[in-house]
Structure 1
Amino acid sequence: MIHSTPDSSQQQRARTAARRLAGLQSREIEKFARDAAMGIAQELMKHGIPIPSKRFRPDVGHVQIDMIIIEEKVTTPEPGMRLQFEVEGNMGVTFNVKLLEFLNDPTGYVTDLFKQLGPMRRNVQRLRTRKRAADAAIYRAITQGAANG
C-alpha cells in the first residue's frame, strides 16, 4: 500500500470516484473528510489517548490530520485521511482512513480503529522488549568476551 500526498490529477480522480460512490460534490467531500477526521481526533482526545508530541503537528488536540490519497496496487487511488499522534511510551501511531469505507459505516470504522489500538501497543511493547534483550545479550557478549579473551 502506498500513501502519498495528492497531486492535482490524483486529487481529481479520487474526488470523481468519491462523488460517484457517495453522491457528494467536491467541496462536500473535503468538508466531510475534515469533519470526520476532526471527530475521530476529538474522540481520541476524549479518551486521553494522544499525548503532547514534538513529532506531530497539533491540528486537533495532540492529533495531526492530513488529507491524503491512498493508492493500492489492486485498486484505483481514493481519498483518505491520515491521523497521527503519539501515545505513552514514546510510540507514534498513524491511522490511514479510507474515506469511502468510512462513509459506508462510520461508527463501525471508528470502533475497529479503537479496537486495534490495544493490540498494536502490546505488539510494539513485545517487540521493544525482545530488542532490548537481544541488545543486552550482544553487549554482554562483546564486553565479557573482550574482558576474558
Structure 2
Amino acid sequence: MIHTTPNGSQQQRARTAALRLAGLQSRDIEKFARDAAMGIAQELMKHNIPIASKRVRPDVGHVQIDMIIIEEKVTTPEPGMRLQFEVEGNMGVTFNVKLLEFLDDPAGYITDLFKQLGPMRRNVQRMRTHKRAADAAIYKALTQGAANG
C-alpha cells in the first residue's frame, strides 16, 4: 500500500472515485474528510490517548492530520486521511483512514480503530522487551566472551 500527499492529478482521480462511489459533490469531499479527521482526533483527545510530541504537528490537540491519496496495486487511488500521534512509552501511531470505507460505517470504523489501539500497544511493548533482551544477550556475549577468550 502506498500513501502519498496528493498532487493535482491524484486529487482529481480520488475526487472522481469518491464522487462515483459515494455520490459526494467534489467540493464536499475535502471538507468532509477534514471534518471526519477532526472528529476522530477530538475523540482520541477526549480519551487522553495522544500525548504532546515534538515529532508530530499538533493540528487538533496532539494529533497531526494530513489528507492523503491511498494507492493499492489492485484498486484505484482513493482519498484518505492520515492521523498521527504519540502515546505513552514514546510510541508513534499512524492511522490511515480510507474515506470511502469510513463513509460506509463511520461509527463502526472508529470503534474498530479504538479496538486496535490496545493490542497494537501490547505487541509493540512485547517486541521492545524481546529486543532489549536480545540486545543484552548479544552485548553480554561480546563483552564477556571477548574478556574470557
Q: Bin the TM-score by the shorter chain.
A: over 0.9
* Partner in structure 2 of residue 95 of structure 1: 95
| Displacement after TM superposition at 1:22 (Å) | 1.5
3-state SS, counterpart of residue 40 of structure 1: helix
Q: How does 1:7-26 map to 2 (within 5 A)?
A: 7-26=7-26
One-letter identity of the residue aligned with 2:85: F
C-alpha separation between the residues in 1 aligned to 2:54 and 2:79? Answer: 27
| Displacement after TM superposition at 1:60 (Å) | 0.1
- Which aligned runs of 4 or more in structure 1 are off by greater than 4 angstroms? none
| Displacement after TM superposition at 1:31 (Å) | 0.5
Task: Return 5+ residue gaps in structure 2 as ranges.
Answer: none
| Displacement after TM superposition at 1:131 (Å) | 0.3
| Displacement after TM superposition at 1:34 (Å) | 0.2
| Displacement after TM superposition at 1:147 (Å) | 1.3
Task: Return 5+ residue gaps in structure 1 as ranges.
Answer: none
| Displacement after TM superposition at 1:136 (Å) | 0.1
Q: How does the TM-score come out when normalised to structure 1?
A: 0.99
| Displacement after TM superposition at 1:30 (Å) | 0.6
C-alpha separation between the residues in 2 aligned to 1:30 and 1:76? Answer: 18
C-alpha separation between the residues in 2 aligned to 1:89 and 1:48? Answer: 14
Give CA-to-partner distance per residue, 1:83-139, whole Å, 9 cap, x none: 000000000000000000000000000000000000000000010000000000000
3-state SS, counterpart of residue 51 of structure 1: coil
C-alpha separation between the residues in 1 aligned to 2:54 and 2:61? Answer: 13
C-alpha separation between the residues in 1 aligned to 2:64 and 2:95? Answer: 10
